[in-house]
Amino acid sequence: MSTFFREVLWQRLRRNRMAMAGAAIVVAMFFLAILAPVIGRDPGAIDIAHRLQPPGLAYPLGTDDLGRDVLVRILYGARISLLVGFVAVGIATFIGILLGAMAGYYGRWIDALIMRFVDIMLCFPTFFLILAVIAFLKPSIWNIMIIIGLTSWMGVARLVRAEFLSLRERDFVLAARAMGAKDARIIFRHILPNAISPVLVSATLGVAGAILTESALSFLGIGVQPPTPSWGNMLISGKQTLGTAWWLSVFPGMAILITVLGYNLLGEGLRDAMDPRIKD
């Protein structure tokens, strides 16, 4: 992206209040996750004497059935959720860009082969495909990140392919070919920087989707395993005491809601800011 484009993008994004609210949520959650060890104590510290304490001055979000601070566990759970989101989306974006660029640039049988593979992948319900793969693997955070990434690249591939199809015959690409530039240089140096805008939007929205997927898997007991705190396994652990200790499920659920909402608002704002059809 050129400096001018970044300045225009920032100006348009800054005027979108909802997008800026989403950005504030994303930044705040990121720093809270990073500073979790400084803000709170060990998330696995058991204190039976203070079990199931309601929210108060000593424990702002209460304690669970083992006396563990819910606020501290939510902060550490944010580290897990954001790590899963970023790594999974990074894997999906890398695969999607690579395959989409090849399909859009070379066309013909390469395009047909890659896009038929994309169509096949899209035929499988993603969540159930993840469940099927995890059934053969040991549940762990690394397996979750890799599986989510390997099953969510298809949208990025289609976006990148569409951009490459519209850019590969532009004058600057023809000039690069005339100067003897190799295909790899044309793809990654000339075309991809001009096709990256929709990918950024897709990646932002993809983080929200990955966080929801990880939370759902942990809620089902096949994601991040206790005692490692995750918003999903915190929800399921609070299910048994929902009638008497509502805070065990409400606060992790609110953390998921607010974080996903922040990424969705930011992604929608980026999409509007990058759309040239929308006038200032």
Tens digits of per-residue pLDDT, 243-256? 788 888 889 999 99
Task: Report d(CA 37, CA 24) in Å as an integer.
Answer: 21
* Right CATH for 3-274 from 3.40.50.1950, 2.60.40.790, 3.10.20.30, 1.10.3720.10: 1.10.3720.10
279 pLDDT exceeds 70? no
What does the pLDDT look like over 104-127, one tens digit per residue?
888 888 999 999 999 988 887 777
1 pLDDT exceeds 80? no
What does the pLDDT look like over 58-113, one tens digit per residue?
888 888 888 888 888 999 989 888 898 899 999 999 999 999 999 988 888 899 99
> Residue by residue, what is the 3-state secondary structure of 173-233?
HHHHHHCCCCHHHHHHHHHHHHHCHHHHHHHHHHHHHHHHHHHHHHHCCCCCCCCCCCHHH
**Of 55-64, 153-162, 193-202, where does the model show the most confidence?**
153-162
> Per-residue confidence at 4, pLDDT binned at 50, 70, 90?
very low
Task: Report d(CA 235, CA 238) in Å as an integer.
Answer: 5
Q: What are the tokens at 95?
A: 């695969």
Task: Report d(CA 276, CA 237) in Å as an integer.
Answer: 47
20 pLDDT exceeds 70? yes
Select from 150, 155, 142, 147 the least CA-distant residue to 131.
147
141 pLDDT exceeds 50? yes
Task: Report d(CA 247, CA 265) in Å as an integer.
Answer: 26
